A and B are shown apart, each in its own frame.
Chain A
Amino acid sequence: MKRSTQTMIATGLTVMAALQQAHADVVVIVSAQSATAKITAREISRIYLGESNRMTPLDIADPSDSRRQFYIKLTGKDDAQVRARWSKLVFTGKGTAPRELPSAADVVKAVAADPHAIGYVDRSFVNITVKIIYTVK
């Protein structure tokens, strides 16, 4: 009896976690001061693959779910392909790979401070200093 209650609680927690996961939205943000109000998925992809220099992209350092979800959905490329792309620009001094910040909170802080910066974070990190210009679905 005791055992099955435990199992039920564990199952309940798992379901809740799964639901939370499903609702975890990754959003693309710029500074609240930025002139950019909207952006297309294709434009974001161009910025994050080093093709367009319209904005300065920022990354989250750890291989978080946000990062994986963001790259696969927006660029259609995995980490290895993205790295191969950037190393073409980096090792000729033509470009600098997206700066990697330790956490989503740091990305929000850096984006807020630079009107050219663009970042992606879980929606729960968004505050008044930044604005959402795209929702990754």
Chain B
Amino acid sequence: MLALALCSTRAGAVLPQIDVSGFGTGGFAITDTGKAEFGHAQEQPVGANNQGDAGVDSLLALQGTVHLTDMFSATVQGMVRRMFNPGFQLDIPVFFVKADLTRDLAVRVGRIQLPVFMSSDYRQVGYSNTWIRPPIEVYSQVPFDSDDGVDALYRKSVGPADVSAQVFYGKSDVSLPGVPIQTRKNWGANATVTVGPLTLRAGRTESTFTARSAAITQLLTAVNAAGFTALANQLNPVNVPFNFTDFGFSFDDTHFTIQGEISKATAGGFVATTDGQYLLVGYRVEKFTPYAMYARQKITSERTDKTIPRFGALVPLALGVDQLINSIGADQHTFSAGVRWDVHDSVDLKLQVDRVSPQGNGLFINPQPGFHGPVTVASMTLDFVF
């Protein structure tokens, strides 16, 4: 990572040190279906189909940190990727001022990566990860990934263990295709303990969200007008709770790299409650790390509305409600196999094949009538850091 230490202009007046670093991924993914698209997150409005696509995994990020004093620094990260919009766009996922109060304790104010998953912080940095992309079955459970607010980071070595903890508070605004989501009073805490090659992590996030769109309002107005006021209120996604719990572990020694997480998302309004799990096992031999992964998501809340009687003119309304309560979250599982090749010091090349089995449309985007799984996805990426 490149450190540009700007030299002093005159004796005694030293300009602050600036670190510039970056990372990126060039990727291509192709599937065996033309009837739906595969994306790495639900925030992606378009994905890969049997024509192939370079936008699922490709991104480029540049980060600068200015060390203002020994205590204060400012960091900004700009990223070009395909998220929220069909084309590549620049956004600023990280922007904060950090105060290192002691060697163990730091406070940040600004925009940080929402630390909900074990790999949340570096999920975009392909080079830091064994996989091509985080398993969508788990990592799509929270469809927003940054947080505007404040956090505190604590680190301490206790005997053979290195402990770190984080608490945060803030808000976020994201735009899923057609559904703007505002989350408020996001707060959470997580703790990580590392002993030798083993790391354990537990995290909890709570927030209140509002998701308004013309289609949702129209449907709920019709539900209300048909006399199902309680149901309309129950599904209305205005200031409803969203809670997330995640447990993760990783084991990383000279040869083995193993990691897994189990997670539970519970939500109010129309958003489904889901469970997620994945396990990745890799075995490093020199510059090559072949790996296998299994991931799944399961909806544990009601998938069919039982309030609206299904006859006559009410059938379309009931089907509309069913569609709504199944719009976020899915039953889906994926078997993946791949290999990471460390081509050079800061460059890797990965190949991965996924066999994705969705129930119905699963987590696929833009499904067409007649779509069904399972779907095979083949991907290749080149990751780098500098």
Task: Judge: A and B partners, yes or no.
Answer: yes
The chain A residues found within 8 Å of chain B, CB to CB, are 42, 46, 51-54, 63, 76-77, 79-80, 83-88, 90-94, 96-97, 99-100, 116
- Whether B112 contacts A93 by the Cβ 8 Å rule is yes
Which residues of chain A come closer than 8 Å to B108, judged between CB atoms? 93
Which residues of chain B come closer than 8 Å to A92, judged between CB atoms? 94, 112-113, 121-122
- Whether B1 contacts A86 by the Cβ 8 Å rule is yes
Which residues of chain A come closer than 8 Å to B112, judged between CB atoms? 92-93
- Whether A91 contacts B157 by the Cβ 8 Å rule is no
User: Nearest 10 CB-CB pairs, A to B?
Assistant: A92-B121, A80-B342, A51-B162, A93-B75, A88-B122, A52-B157, A88-B128, A87-B128, A87-B385, A53-B155
Min CB distance, A89 to chain B, in Å? 8
* A63 CA / B287 CA spacing, docked (Å): 18
Which residues of chain B come closer than 8 Å to A80, judged between CB atoms? 287, 342, 344-346, 348
Cβ-defined partner of A93 (8 Å) among B96, B104, B342, B344: B96
Q: Mark B116-144, 1 if CB is under 8 A from A, else 0.
A: 00000110110110000000000000000
B160 on the interface (CB 8 Å rule)? yes
- Whether A90 contacts B21 by the Cβ 8 Å rule is yes
- Whether A93 contacts B385 by the Cβ 8 Å rule is no
* A113 CA / B113 CA spacing, docked (Å): 35
Which residues of chain A come closer than 8 Å to B65, judged between CB atoms? 93, 96
Min CB distance, A47 to chain B, in Å? 9
B376 on the interface (CB 8 Å rule)? no
- Whether B345 contacts A83 by the Cβ 8 Å rule is yes
* A93 CA / B75 CA spacing, docked (Å): 7
- Whether A52 contacts B162 by the Cβ 8 Å rule is yes
- Whether A116 contacts B103 by the Cβ 8 Å rule is yes
* A85 CA / B124 CA spacing, docked (Å): 14
Considering residues A52, A86, A90, A116, which has the most beta carbons from chain B within 10 angstroms of its beta carbon?
A90
B194 on the interface (CB 8 Å rule)? yes
Can you spell out 8 A-B residue pairs with CB atoms less than 8 angstroms apart? Answer: A46-B157, A79-B345, A88-B121, A88-B122, A91-B23, A91-B122, A94-B121, A94-B153
B327-359 contacts to A (CB < 8 Å): 342, 344-346, 348
Which residues of chain B come closer than 8 Å to A100, judged between CB atoms? 3
B91 on the interface (CB 8 Å rule)? no
Residue of A nearest to B284 (CB): A81
- Whether A91 contacts B63 by the Cβ 8 Å rule is yes
Which residues of chain A come closer than 8 Å to B103, judged between CB atoms? 53, 116
Which residues of chain B come closer than 8 Å to A87, judged between CB atoms? 1, 23, 122, 125, 127-128, 385
* A110 CA / B346 CA spacing, docked (Å): 26
